[in-house]
Structures are given as C-alpha cells and as structure tokens.
Amino acid sequence: MNPRKLLIFGGIAAVLVVIAAAGWYFFIRDDAPEEVSLAGALESINTPSATATTSATTSAGNGSTATATATATTGGSGSSSQAADGIEGDWAVSSAGDSFVGYRVKEELARVGATTAVGRSSVITADVTIADGKLVSGTVEADVTKLESDQGFRDRALQDQGIETRKFPTATFVANGNLAIPDGLEDGQAVNLTLPGKLTLHGVTKDVEIPVEAQLVEGRLVIVGSLPIAFGDYDIDAPSAASVVSIDDNGTMEFQLILERA
C-alpha cells in the first residue's frame, strides 16, 4: 500500500479509537453520585462550614462513644449563637438542603460492565426529640416507592423485585432513646456517634447500629450516615433483568438529613 495512504488510514484508525474511548468515558463510565458525607450535606444547604476532622473521643454515657471535632462552624452564625439556641427540642425535616434516604449497590450490566447503582428518595419524614442532653426519641421514615436512580428500568424493577416497593412502600428507622449527645454538637462542632435502634426494611425489622456524623449549622441539625445491608438478612432477593449480568448480595443504605425545629 502507498505509504501516504497507509499513514492516512492509520490516522483515521487512531481517531476512531479516541472517539470510542471518549464514548466509553462519557456515556458508559460509572458516574454514580458520591457517597454521603457531612461536607456534601453542608454544601447542599449552601452554608460555608469547615468539614469534620476527628480530634477527640468522648464517652456518651451509655456504652456508646462520640467523636467531636475542634472545628467550629463558619458562616452567618458562629458557635456562640449555636449555644444560645441549643439543640433541645423537637426536630423535623427542613425544606432547606437535600434530605434523602437511599441505596448503593454494585452491579454488572450487559455491554456496560461493572457499575454502582444508586437510588434515592427525598420523600421522607423525621421526628426527633432531644432533651436534657439526650436523644429521647428519633424516627425516620422513607417512601421507597419514590426511589429514583439513573435508570428507569431499575426503578420499575424494584416495584416487584428486590425490596418490592409495591408490597413494602416504606422503610423506617427508630432510634433507641436515652442516648447521650456530646457537648460539642451544641457548640456547632461536628461529631461522630453511633445510633442504635431498629431498622424495618422489606417488612423485616432488625436491631442495627448506624454510625453517623452530625453538626448544628445556623439552626439546622445536619445528619449523615450509612449502613451495610446484607440482602439475606431482610429476605431480599437480588432483582434480575435481561440487561443485568450480576448484582451483589449486599449493598449500603445511606441517608442525609437536614432538620429544623418542628
């Protein structure tokens, strides 16, 4: 073949390879939302705030522990105003920011490969009461029929497979009462603590302990957390579809709550 033609054909082939690679990156790559974090939750309410960094671990008084940071909130109100308002009282989901409950599961799709399925519902209610420095009660309920991911076929499949949202339309977490709250939270510091309670999913109720991060920011209580879920523990069979090669037998429940005084 003429060397010039060979060079031209070689150049065309190289361009096609680049186009194919770009198509894979932009249209097929795993583009799942980031895992929940306190920084992400704070960003959702557009409140400038330092992120949480562990600095000290304190006893919660009932066998659990809470880790407070020495980083105070920045922005419209400092830690002094947080202390003035305090955290005592009743709390409910705020219209500010993005509150949601959702799942994160590894799967493999035909012609796509390994990816992360993430679905979230923003139709949730929360009823939290704090008094005398303790979490007196806390209930969060999510409408799982409103779970949305980046694939409509996946959302429709979950109506009658997997968590079967048509039969089990809600998921609920009820925290155990009498949990001591670390002092740093009232001062506007970020804290880590573990919430023991009961999780009801797919009609099955289990005792769980959910690690969470929390911070009081300009009168709003921001809480994020996640929990590994083994499907078998909740009698959940992994959904199947022609486009699905495989799905892990476990996943992660995650949530982001922006609360305000009820």
Region 23-41: mean pLDDT is 69
Q: How confident is the model at residue 220 (pLDDT cuts 50, 70, 90)?
A: very high
Is 244 a residue whose pLDDT tops 60?
A: no
Question: What is the distance between the alpha carbons of residues 15 and 190, in angstroms, rounded to a whole number?
Answer: 50
Q: How confident is the model at residue 147 (pLDDT cuts 50, 70, 90)?
A: very high
Q: Residue 63 — left, alpha, or beta (φ > 0 → left; ψ -120 to 50 → alpha)?
A: left
| DSSP state letter for 154 | H
Is 49 a residue whose pLDDT tops 50?
A: no
Write down the pLDDT at residue 246: 59
Chain-centroid distance, C-alpha 212: 10
**SS3 assignment, position 219:** coil
Write down the pLDDT at residue 151: 86
Is 39 a residue whose pLDDT tops 60?
A: yes
Least confident residue range of 58-72, 137-151, 232-246: 58-72
- The 10 Å Cβ neighbour count of residue 204 is 12
Write down the pLDDT at residue 67: 41
Of residues 206 and 7, which shows the higher confidence score?
206
What are the residue boundaries of the structural domains of the chain, listed by start?
1-30, 34-261
Question: What is the distance between the alpha carbons of residues 161 and 156, in angstroms, rounded to a whole number?
Answer: 9
Query: Of the ranges 105-119, 221-235, 245-259, which is most confident?
Result: 221-235
Question: What is the distance between the alpha carbons of residues 204 and 201, in angstroms, rounded to a whole number?
Answer: 5
Question: What is the distance between the alpha carbons of residues 120 and 124, in angstroms, rounded to a whole number?
Answer: 11
The secondary structure element, H or E, covering residue 96 is none
* Architecture (CATH level 2) of domain 34-261: Beta Barrel (2.40)
Question: What is the distance between the alpha carbons of residues 110 and 114, in angstroms, rounded to a whole number?
Answer: 9
Is 15 a residue whose pLDDT tops 70?
A: no
Give Cβ neighbours of residue 50 (< 8 Å, ≥ 6 apart).
71, 72, 73, 74, 190
The per-residue pLDDT of the chain, averaged, comes to: 79
Question: What is the distance between the alpha carbons of residues 77 and 58, in angstroms, rounded to a whole number?
Answer: 26
What single letter denotes the amino acid at residue 43? E
Region 153-168: mean pLDDT is 94
Of residues 229 and 82, which shows the higher confidence score?
229
Q: How confident is the model at residue 217 (pLDDT cuts 50, 70, 90)?
A: very high
Question: What is the distance between the alpha carbons of residues 40 and 25, in angstroms, rounded to a whole number?
Answer: 24
Tokens of 214: 């929390």
Of residues 99, 259, 68, 85, the one with CA closest to residue 180: 68
Percent of residues, the chain, with pLDDT higher than 70: 69
Are 259 and 221 in contact by the 8 Å Cβ rule? The answer is yes
Q: How confident is the model at residue 31 (pLDDT cuts 50, 70, 90)?
A: confident
Question: What is the distance between the alpha carbons of residues 67 and 214, in angstroms, rounded to a whole number?
Answer: 10
pLDDT in tens, 164-211: 999 999 999 999 999 999 889 999 999 999 999 999 999 999 999 999
Write down the pLDDT at residue 182: 87
Q: Is the pTM of this model over 0.85?
A: no
Percent of residues, the chain, with pLDDT higher than 90: 61
